[in-house]
Amino acid sequence: MSSPCFKVPELALVRFAALLGRRNCLSKPEDLALYEYDGGVDKALPAVVLLPQTTEEVAAIVKICAEFDIPLIGRGAGTGLSGGSIPRFGGAVIAFSRMNRILEIDIPNECATVQPGVVNIEVTNAIQGQGYFYAPDPSSQRACTIGGNVAENAGGPHTLAYGVTTNHVLGLEFVTADGMVHTVGGKCQGGAGYDLAGLLTGSEGTLVLVTKVIVRLMRHPECIKTLLAIFSETDQAAGTIAEITARAITPVALEMLDGAMLQMVEAATHAGYPMDAAAVLLIELEGMLEAVEEQVAEIEGLCFANGAREVRAARTAEERALLWKGRKNAFGAIGRISPSYYVQDGVVPRTKIAPTLRYIDEVSRRFGVKIGNIFHAGDGNLHPIILFDRRNQDEFDRARHAGDEILRFCVANGGSITGEHGVGMEKMELIPDQFNPDSLAVMESLKLLFDPAERLNPGKVMTLRRGCTEIRQKPGTEI
């Protein structure tokens, strides 16, 4: 276990303990080891982990960190996939797991106010039976937190129709790098001035620390239909996606799994996926009964016209849940055949899905790594999953290089290096591939406006000045 390059002075530790109590300040090696990783492949050890319970405590922590020039990293459940919550240079991690209360449910105004440590699925669970739900649904929704979702602007299978997290954030309370508490937005729609909530959602903890979120609640639709379209060739499935879009049909979810992923998922979940197919599309439609039935008939026709060998419709809520169980437990299923995996998160235009899948297959052969594909096909958000053994450095290096090549191909074809996982520390070197120097300069100016000393989540999203050898050491502090 490597030591953090930015340690925390003893006097700061005393101040943290006086503020939070010793049980809420973790500094033993066995405790810190639990916070050195996320769902990605990188690791870095914090010097201390702090567990506040109120906004006031967060503000006080930030002020102490400012006084001692300590890097500060916010953390939700650690389910992120780009290293966003990893303390790259050590310093202090604020873990929001004890700020986990739903503060208010306001059905008449169709919103809820929550602390950042509330688990995503708990919002929907809290309003079950009232005809409402919280729409953003990352595959990790049973573990990931609202604060982490806001930091990464998380998506999920149902974002095709409902949008990503930013489309469901009405207001934020947050702490800036100087320890001041601010609020933006609220329960009302719209509002005057700049959309600061939109700016901060997806900023990956590099601008502020979010301490409260007002989220939009959605009404349950009258009718839900879930289809599984089965194909013998991946190009047929990809062509169907483009055809559905061309017909101006917008499913709430349009997911694709290739043959490699189907075998892994079905062996683990027994969801009813065909083991011999080259690809399947998981298609979900919602709305008024008559409209949904018309769209189901049209989509079935499109699937068969593009070569589908079978289209199944879930007949019961249990069958629908089983199909989604297979999709949402896919990452866990990989552990049956590979000790490690590297999940990528590129985006391409829908018309480029077929050639991108062919390129991914080429990369797989060239680098000698197995790659399975499972992704939000409706909005072109690809998730190539590269299998490797972390104990083999050569395999790990080949997996990383393969991932970089795939993302560069996405950018070259009019796409992006991330759709919902964020840039974090994983994709920083690829940022110049997507943005020109002028755009990067604007982003840097925003970062320095909010965080001039670069203490908030340093070493993420883009390379600025702060690093282990560039910290401004103060008299009497330990580095």
pLDDT tens track for 10-43: 999 999 999 999 999 999 999 999 999 999 999 9
| Percent with pLDDT over 90 in the chain | 89
Residue 111 falls inside a structural domain: yes
- Rounded CA separation 51/119 (Å): 16
Do 276 and 243 belong to one domain?
A: yes
Asked if residues 155 and 193 have their Cβ atoms less than 8 Å apart, the reply is: no
Q: Which DSSP helix (H) or strand (E) runs through 401?
A: helix 393-412
CB 256 within 8 A of CB 281: yes
CATH at 268 = 3.30.70.2190
DSSP E strands, 217-366: 218-219, 223-231, 253-258, 279-287, 310-313, 340-343
Give the model confidence (pLDDT) of 178-201 as tens digits. Answer: 999 999 999 987 777 899 999 999
* Model confidence, pTM: 0.93
Same domain, 180 and 105: yes
Instruction: Assign residue 343 the CATH number of its domain.
Output: 3.30.70.2740
Whether the pLDDT of residue 479 is over 80: the answer is no
pLDDT at 227: 97
Domain final residue, candidates 316, 332, 348: 332
Please state the domain count of the chain: 3
pLDDT digits (tens, 9 = 90+) for 223-278: 999 999 999 999 999 999 999 988 888 999 999 999 999 999 999 999 999 999 99
**260 and 199 within one domain:** no
Distances (CA, A) of 473 to 7, 9, 280, 464, 466: 11, 11, 56, 18, 12
CA dist., res. 444 & res. 446, Å (int): 5
Is 449 in contact with 431 (CB distance < 8 Å)?
Answer: no
Name the residue among 175, 176, 177, 197 with its Cα closest to residue 187: 197
CA–CA gap between residue 91 and residue 103 (Å, rounded): 30
The total number of residues written for the chain in this structure: 479
Q: 322 with 345, same domain?
A: no
Whether 155 is in a domain gets the answer yes
Tokens 């790594």, residue?
369
Domain that holds residue 399: 338-420
How much is the pLDDT for 97?
A: 97
